């Protein structure tokens, strides 16, 4: 290792797995924690109600969401894939956006999620998510990708969204990739053993 090199940074090509927020109680605890911080509340709420990567969340501009109502579509181009995405926004997402846009002054073309030095960055979102989870004493590994994973986890566990549908939502090529990504297969296998009582 070279002098001054960051020992906490993963090797190039390495993956760090983060957890979804698994319980509604913990989601509500974070929302309560952020209720007086409109930007962070909106970032969290929009993140867990869509399957957008942090970089795509941060690319949203005020003009794209101003005036949207429940069921309105957010249209953006994914940074990673270059594909155009249309996302229908639910009531929680719209209310969070409205709370933020009423509390913040925006000019035409401004990014929705602004920091003191301009638009937020993915590393800053990573730090925010880690701090929110730590503040409510969540055990596990959390980061910016936790928001996207939380969306998928609850789509599957709360709404029973099918794996093929989730594969399409996340643009995964195999069911195995989706199951591994959402951290739910071990739980489902354990439940299957416990439910069957012959």
DSSP 165: H
User: Which one from 80, 102, 105, 117 is the annotated catalytic residue?
Assistant: 80
154 has catalytic annotation:
no
Could you give the CA distance from residue 106 to residue 28 in angstroms, rounded to a whole number?
28
User: Which one from 145, 149, 154, 156 is the annotated catalytic residue?
Assistant: 145
User: Which one from 39, 149, 154, 172 is the annotated catalytic residue?
Assistant: 172
User: Which one from 22, 39, 148, 156 is the annotated catalytic residue?
Assistant: 148
User: Which one from 39, 53, 154, 156 is the annotated catalytic residue?
Assistant: 53
Residue (of 183, 186, 164, 182) closest to 173 by Cα position: 164
106 has catalytic annotation:
no
Could you give the CA distance from residue 99 to residue 41 in angstroms, rounded to a whole number?
9
86 has catalytic annotation:
no
181 has catalytic annotation:
yes
The stretches of the chain forming alpha helices (DSSP H) are 24-34, 38-48, 54-58, 62-65, 91-103, 122-135, 145-157, 163-170, 175-182, 185-195
39 has catalytic annotation:
no
193 has catalytic annotation:
no
**Residues labelled as active-site residues:** 53, 80, 145, 148, 172, 181
């Amino acid at each position: 290792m070279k002098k001054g090199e960051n020992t906490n940074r993963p090797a190039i090509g390495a993956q760090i797995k983060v957890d979804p927020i698994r319980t509604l109680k913990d989601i509500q605890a974070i929302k309560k924690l952020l209720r007086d911080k409109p930007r962070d509340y909106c970032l969290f709420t929009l993140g867990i109600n869509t399957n957008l990567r942090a970089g795509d969340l941060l690319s949203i501009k005020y003009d794209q969401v101003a005036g949207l109502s429940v069921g309105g579509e957010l249209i953006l181009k994914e940074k990673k894939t270059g594909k155009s995405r249309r996302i229908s926004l639910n009531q929680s997402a719209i209310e969070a956006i409205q709370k933020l846009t009423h509390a913040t002054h925006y000019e035409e073309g401004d990014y929705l999620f602004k920091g003191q030095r301009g638009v937020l960055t993915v590393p800053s979102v990573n730090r925010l998510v880690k701090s929110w989870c730590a503040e409510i004493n969540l055990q596990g590994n959390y980061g910016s990708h936790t928001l996207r994973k939380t969306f998928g986890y609850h789509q599957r566990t709360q709404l029973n969204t099918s794996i093929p549908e989730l594969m399409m939502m996340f643009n995964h090529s195999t069911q195995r990739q989706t199951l591994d990504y959402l951290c739910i297969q071990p739980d489902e296998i354990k439940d299957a053993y416990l439910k069957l009582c012959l």
